[in-house]
Structure 1
Amino acid sequence: MTSFKAALLGAAGALALASGAAAAEFDIRASHGESIESPLHKGWQVFEAYVEGNSGGRIEVTVLPSSQLGTIGEALEQAKIGAIQMAHGDEQNLDRFYGPMVILATPYLFANDEEAQVFLRSDTFAKMNDAMAEQSNLRLLAAASYGFRTFTNNVRPIKSPADMEGIRMRVPPSPMSLEMVKAMGGSPTPVPWEELYGAMQQGVVDGQENPLGVIHDYSFWQVQKYLTVDNHQLGLNSLVINETFYKSLPEELREVVLTGAQMAAATEYGERNYQARVSAVDALREKGMEVYFPTPEEAQQFRDATREPLQAYLKEELGDEIVEAVYAEIDRIREAARNAVQ
């Protein structure tokens, strides 16, 4: 009797496991590089909940935060080859998979967050995204602004490009960031995100550049004194998917995944926007940072110092056609925005 009962229980357990395994037709394993307290992770949680619920259980999502699978670049490589299905990208990493994506990291390209979102919905960007998918097997589904990047350092307040002279400024592994700091007279020093805090703490670099919310959330105020809110680059966290996997989904499930990604981006952006506009500056001042906002004339000096070198770099790397197409698209976006308020 006991052995018969055990056999029945074993059979029931096996059936339950088989039933659970069959419940999901598709698995999405996704990696991102931030902590579970971050707005980015909250966005991925929304993606997980939406996709699992609205697929009727046909898709199971596992989100792996805090660089468990390696750096942002390493996780994107895994997504490219299909070892995982999705990964976190940003404006500093996608160009290694498709060169023209470096345009997203161009200083002073976007005047505000909404301008960037309209560009990401444009035909011009759709062509870039299709080309990246074809070339690298990676497709950007949605992107959230995590704020404009600003400079911090321990040497002096940066009020003009001349103040950058001699400062070892940490930059991500992006050619655009290297060219930007070089054009201002600084010494660009690539350091992986995961090593940044230690590099500042140990004096390997003098400064770094990131959005205000990131500077606050990752306690950079503990190892940095001066903050210049120059808003030189718009940070864009993106949800990137393996193109082969994406195409393998039935159309109705592709729509669910795309909508989930857009909802995730909206979730992150809402919290980041509040940080950047309301809470972060006051909090950083209270933590002891010296905060400086450039005057309009000083801000123009930064733009003037970088515009020609960066456009020349872009055209040399990418050719005139795509660079001119992007700037023309942004001009159309700005013109449409002006017309909308007239």
Structure 2
Amino acid sequence: MTKLKALVGACTVALATLGSAVTAEAATWRYAFEEALTDVQGVYASKFKEHIEANSDHTVQLFPYGTLGESADIMEQAQAGLLQFVDQSPGFTGSLIPEAQIFFIPYLLPETHDGLEYFFRNSKAINEAFKSIYAQHGLELLKMFPEGEVVITTQEAFDSPAGLDGVKIRVMTNPLLVESYKAFGATPTPLPWGEVYGGLQTNIIQGQENPLFWVESAKMYEVTDVMTFTGHNNFTTAVMANKRFFDRLPEQDQQLVQDAMQAAFDHIMVYQKGLSERSLEKILEQKPDMKIVRLTEEQRQPFRAAAEEVEAKFIEMTGDPGRQLLQQFKQDLNAAKAQ
């Protein structure tokens, strides 16, 4: 009887091992992101899926915004291993990973497409330092990429911090972004994305910020009348894997994922050229009377000055690790500017 039990146990282990091997050969991976399939994150995810499925027997299931809940929901699912991949802006991970808030220091990132591309490809802060920071939270950071210049849409025009006095601007649930809009003179109001359109309709908030393609895609122009280019930021996002899942992948699958991420990055940087201009054209086709304001360098100066206050807040929130990260960030930015 004991021998029989041992034999059954051995067979069970063998079958389980065989099942694991089969799964490793042809798995289904789940990938959630914060935008629609036709938006930047969706285009990136689609290219990743295309590369994986063309070069392996794996299948990638894509879950656009709303299909699995809000941003906080998909991050929880990724950390729990229910999702293998998640694309989420540091705007939402800032509460979980304080150092990620560095992307919300105004006027820090390069302002040109070429500068941004060089920075994200070569930054030691992004490609080395951030990897170890994310790993502490059960996440394998695979790639960060820019999504487009952030614009502010409001009900009334402004050209100085004084013009934002008392204006409730919706922000992501990110402590440093809150501090940024305080420094800009506004009243920052954290809200889940699903409540923004209605909040603007009912005047609970009077403005919001986002890259132009998202203003067009989410129809923010329908519930605001003025779009202001302040030049203060470029929206950044991060693609992560559940670390336990990634670490357990065979070496060839880890390389496959990295290659797919690089292919998607190369694709999205080309895709974004002229995207903001195309999005603005679509907005003006739908709403010709949308007022477009581009602040001059002189008008931007008070906002640039406010960035120093936000930078100090970042260091206060993150301590020496944040200070060291910011130093590396600035070295990487100087290298990008030199190009």
> If the length of structure 1 is used for normalisation, what is the TM-score?
0.85
- By how many angstroms is 1:91 displaced? 2.6
- By how many angstroms is 1:31 displaced? 1.0
> Cα distance 1:315–1:215, how it changes in 2: closer, same or farther (>3 A)?
same
1:212 maps to what in 2?
212
1:130 maps to what in 2?
131
> If the length of structure 2 is used for normalisation, what is the TM-score?
0.85
**Separation in 1, partners of 2:96, 2:329:** 23
2:108 maps to what in 1?
109
SS in 2 for 1:133: helix
Q: How does 1:161-310 map to 2 (within 5 A)?
A: 161-276=161-276, 278-286=277-285, 287=287, 288-304=289-305, 306-310=306-310
Question: Does the CA contact (< 8 Å) of 2:99 and 2:318 recur in 1?
Answer: yes
Gap runs ≥5 in structure 1 = 1-17
Amino acid at match of 2:275: Q
1:98 maps to what in 2?
97
Aligned residues: 315
Considering only aligned residues, what root-mean-square deviation do their CA atoms show, in Å?
A: 2.2
**Separation in 1, partners of 2:40, 2:336:** 31
2:54 maps to what in 1?
53
Moved more, 28-37 or 184-193: 28-37
SS in 1 for 2:91: coil
Moved more, 43-52 or 317-326: 317-326
Question: Does the CA contact (< 8 Å) of 1:143 and 1:236 recur in 2?
Answer: yes
Deviation per CA, 1:80-117: give whole Å up to 9, x if none. 12111111211302223322111122211112344444
Moved more, 282-291 or 166-175: 282-291
Deviation per CA, 1:53-101: give whole Å up to 9, x if none. 212x1x2211111321111221011111211111121130222332211
% same residue: 25
> Cα distance 1:22–1:307, how it changes in 2: closer, same or farther (>3 A)?
closer
Amino acid at match of 2:145: A
The question of 1:148 aligning with 2:149 is answered yes
Question: Does the CA contact (< 8 Å) of 2:95 and 2:173 recur in 1?
Answer: no
- By how many angstroms is 1:269 displaced? 3.7
**Separation in 1, partners of 2:301, 2:243:** 41
Moved more, 87-96 or 322-331: 322-331
Question: Does the CA contact (< 8 Å) of 1:115 and 1:334 recur in 2?
Answer: no
**Separation in 2, partners of 1:172, 1:124:** 23
**Separation in 2, partners of 1:328, 1:245:** 29
Amino acid at match of 1:285: L
- By how many angstroms is 1:28 displaced? 1.1
- By how many angstroms is 1:321 displaced? 5.1
Question: Does the CA contact (< 8 Å) of 1:213 and 1:280 recur in 2?
Answer: yes
- By how many angstroms is 1:283 displaced? 3.3
**Separation in 1, partners of 2:183, 2:327:** 20
